[in-house]
Structure 1
Amino acid sequence: MIKKSFSEHYSTLKYFLRWSLITIPVAIAIGSMVALFLWLLNLAIHFRFAHTWLLYMLPVAGIAIHFLYKWYGSSAERGNNLIIDEIHEPGAGVPKRMAPLILVTTVITHLFGGSAGREGTAVQIGGSIANLFAGLFKLKGANKQVMLTTGIAAGFGAVFGTPLTGAVFALEVITVGRIRYNALLPCLIAGMIGDLTVSAWNVHHTKYHIDYVNAGQNLNGHHIPLSLLLLAKVVVAAAVFGLASYGFAKSVHAVKNAGIKLLKARWITPVAGGVVIIVLTVILGKPDYLSLGVDAQYPGAVTIVSAFQQGGAHTLSWLWKLIYTAITLGTGFKGGEVTPLFYIGATLGNTLAEVLNAPVSLFAALGFIAVFAGATNTPLACTIMGIELFGSEHALLFAVACFVAYYFSGNTGIYSAQRRNGLKTDLKQT
């Protein structure tokens, strides 16, 4: 028994050392590429702030993105879904050109005002670089699957400054209703190293803050740490967050399908999308729903940050951002969905807080993570994200919001390549 126990621990040590040696250089490379991407993205967004006429060139930018992918994209056009499919069933691999292509085209999208995010870019950078290193290390089969999963973890952890979330997201996003733990350690290492690398390049992430909320109450002379009334309000809001997730996923797919059916020449689709974005912005008279929505273009603009303050969002800010993003991504512009989901969730949380007479910053934070949880089917990762971004004081409410939103978002999501281990409410799941 002693010999067997020693053998098991020796195998574990070997596994740890092997994957540490493999993962660390990969995560450093991914983190460095993500740092470059974030730096360029920030330059592009603020350059557009100073040159507002660039929005009117969005249709031309759409044509450029379309032909870049037509001439050089190959299978890279499938983005995150290609990486998820490769993890399930390794095939032709993830093309090396995916990383530079998605980086350049995402920066172009934001430079001209398209409403998109950055997680998709970071994940594709991670998957592309991880696939490159898998070839260098001659990894095959299950080892290559683990390597691609660590690429997702490193990219996600690096782009948002949430290393633990990146690790769990990479494991949870592959299959709805099942987590494979064989890549847990490499993913954790990748998320941490990717995040540390971005910090080492002196690239900083946006800080969010929840104002103090006394969530406890006295019940029959005893103090309990959670107000039952506040909990009920969180459940109601979370159900709405889940429905918003459902609406977002369906809208992106609907726009994409409509473009395919109605427009025969594929290059016209991004032109049409760009024109619609311009027209909407002119009608609304403000640029609040363009690009990321993190930095304010002018004083008083609705942003993710402003949503954490009383009166920091309009009643329909969340809906306008949903429409803008569905049109941008559905017509072929590049970027991620997650930061727009943060915007939708935070502004919707701000609105619901007013309706439910609830703490504004807390409900903005709950919407921030819960809409994301419902759209990506990753409630555990999003609960951890809440803790990493906002602190652990409201961890229970984070979990309630994310899991309720997960169920209310239905059996859909923004990643079509996600496998499903039965329905979310199926008691026969294995």
Structure 2
Amino acid sequence: MLKKYLKFIIMILFVAVFIGTVTALFSKGLHFTQHIKTISNFNYFLFFLPFAGLLTLYSYDKIAPNYDKGMGILLDNLDKKSNFLNYKMGILVFSTTLLAHLFGASVGREGVAVQLGGVIGKKNSKFIEEDRGIFSRISMACGFAGLYQTPLAAIFFIYEITKVKEKSKREKILYFLVGLVATFLSKYTAKFLGAHTFLVNLKFSYNLINLNFIFKILFALICFSFIGILFVQFTEINKRIFTKLFPNKYVKIFSVSVVVALALHYFNGRYMSLGTNLINESFSMFYLIKNQDFILKLIFTSICISIGFQGGEVTPLFAIGASLGIFLSYFLGIDPLLLAALGYICVFSSATHGYLGSSFIGAEIFGFEYFPIFFISCFITSRLNFHKNIYGKRIYEVDL
């Protein structure tokens, strides 16, 4: 038994370093795509967005058919012994996500980190006689931790969006602690290699809390939950509508991308890519946030995801939530940075139907002294979303 645990620990720590290295490389690739567009005329890149979409679909069809469903494929194969998941999936999501960002698609980045972590973990779990599913889940968490630099949030987030088989209490504690060590190792590996850490110095006094403040916050939480639900529903509706209008997926992604590119150009590229520009403005120059930012970012991201661009939704959800928080602060008379922070985590909480991962994201970015507020807020928004989830049938269930 001891030999089994030692082998598991050694393997997962090795994989954690490897995943941290890969996520750092991906972060540098993302930074490069943003830098290129900054020093060049972004209009030229938007012109090629439809062709980037065609290349994305063609690459999946020729190299790895049936892998273009992203996180869904990964989640459905975590506990299976088949070799369906392989490095082709990791390489494709890595390259096609960079391609999407280079040419302006409004998508996220966590899909790459989590899928790469999952694939690397799945391939190396063949050396583990038992608990392969746990090994793969910790590897996915390492990808999230390396990219977002939030190791505590990573381990909780992964176990919220996946289902885990029953384990003994001793094994639960052991694997949880091993997972924490692995995610921290992945984080610091990526940080050492140049991954960016996003931190905000939030200043809020608990002395400001009164009955009026509580009612205003509850109203904001309802808004955050609604927007999370809206994103999930709108994406599902878009997928059905665009598939019905364009049965051929190549025609679909090209035709819709033409319209998206023109619309992004009209808004001067403000809603391209991750949405980090909106996040940075929300926490440093919130007066630059426009009233329509949150809804337009939601629309562009939902459309890009629904027609087949790779990357994920998490960072755009952060941007949508933060800019919505600034918008609500104008009416509620509450500190805009506090509402931006709550929006940042609560829209994500609503869209994923989980509260532990999002609560720890808030604590690791904005300060652990505010964890009680983050936990209560994320719990409320996640419970208000009627089990809607960007990851489909997966629902909140922690077993470790």
Whether TM-score is above 0.5 comes out as yes
Tell me how far 1:80 sits from its aligned partner: 1.2
CA contact (8 A) 1:83 1:148 kept: no
Which residue of structure 2 lines up, in the alignment, with residue 51 of structure 1?
A: 41
CA distance, structure 2, for counterparts of residue 94 and residue 312 of structure 1: 44
* Aligned position for 2:17: 28
Please list, as runs of the form range in 1=range in 2, the aligned pairs for 1:15-414 lying within 5 A after superposition: 17-49=6-38, 50-52=40-42, 53-135=44-126, 137=127, 139-140=128-129, 143-175=131-163, 181=172, 183-210=175-202, 212-216=203-207, 226-284=209-267, 286-295=268-277, 303-308=278-283, 309-414=285-390
Cα distance in structure 2, aligned partners of 1:74 and 1:130: 21
Distance 1:61 1:374, change over 3 A: same
> Following TM superposition, by how much is the alpha carbon of 1:420 offset from its aligned partner in structure 2, in angstroms?
6.5
Shift in Å, 1:411: 1.5
Separation of aligned partners in 2, 1:209 and 1:271: 42
SS in structure 2 opposite 1:411?
coil
Q: By percentage of residues, which structure has more helix? A: 2
Kindly indicate whether the alpha-carbon contact (under 8 Å) linking 2:147 and 2:187 is maintained by their aligned counterparts in 1.
yes
Letter in 2 for 1:55: L
The aligned amino acid for 2:94 is: L
CA distance in 2, matches of 1:269, 1:328: 11
Aligned 8 A contact 1:23 1:189 in 2: no
Give the Cα separation in 1 of the matches to 2:345 and 2:194.
26
RMSD: 2.1
Q: Contact 1:90–1:145 at 8 Å: present in 2 too?
A: no
Which structure has more RCO (C-alpha within 8 Å, separation ≥ 6)? 2
Q: Structure 1 regions of 5+ residues with no counterpart?
A: 1-10, 218-225, 296-302, 422-430
In the TM superposition, what is the alpha-carbon distance from 1:272 to its structure 2 partner? Answer: 2.1
> Does structure 1 retain, via aligned residues, the 8 Å contact 2:34–2:102?
yes
What is the CA–CA distance in structure 1 between the aligned matches of 2:108 and 2:167, rounded to whole Å? Answer: 26
Bigger radius of gyration among the two: 1
- What is the distance in 1 between the residues matched to 2:46 and 2:332? 37
**How far does residue 357 in structure 1 lie from its aligned partner after superposition?**
0.6
Matching residue's letter, 1:209? N
3-state SS of 2:23 partner: helix
**TM-score, with length taken from structure 1:** 0.86
TM-score by structure 2 length? 0.92
Deviation at 1:75, TM superposition (A): 3.3
